[in-house]
Amino acid sequence: GALDGTHIRVSLPLDEQIRYVGRSGTPTQNVLAVCDFDMRFTYVSTDQSGAMHDTSVLYHVLRVDKDVFPHAPQGKYYIVDVGYPNRPGYLAPYKGERYHIPEFHPKP
């Protein structure tokens, strides 16, 4: 399975925008989604501001939705990107390692 987040642009009144402005400079909502091993969405969280880091969103979800969050089965892992920590059930790439290099592409 996989777990990742994305930013969705939001339209808010001016007095509410500041907490939703992240690196992009525009107000966004940080949406976290989980797909199971059959590539079906099993969980989506849409209530975090765009200024929150992916790790903070994950820990918030694990605390607030602990009864409904679909943890990876014992001995299995969710593939996550570098914005998430390596921990039991979550497999992130090694920091500083380049994985998208031409040697991984088949030669014509």
Task: Look up residue 103 and give its two tokens.
Answer: 């040697």
Domain annotation covers residue 54 = yes
Range of the domain at 6: 2-103
Domain annotation covers residue 108 = no
For the segment 47-56, what is each residue's pLDDT rounded down to a tens digit?
788 888 888 9
For the segment 28-70, what is each residue's pLDDT rounded down to a tens digit?
888 999 998 888 999 999 878 888 888 899 999 999 999 999 9
pLDDT value at position 15?
86
Which residues, 6+ apart, have CB-to-CB distance to 70 below 8 Å? 34, 36, 42, 43
Task: Look up residue 72 and give its two tokens.
Answer: 């990876």
Prediction pTM value: 0.77
Domain annotation covers residue 25 = yes
Domain annotation covers residue 99 = yes
Domain annotation covers residue 16 = yes
Q: In what order do the strands lie in the sheet with 78-79?
A: 41-49, 28-35, 2-9, 78-79, 90-91
**Total tally of structural domains belonging to the chain:** 1
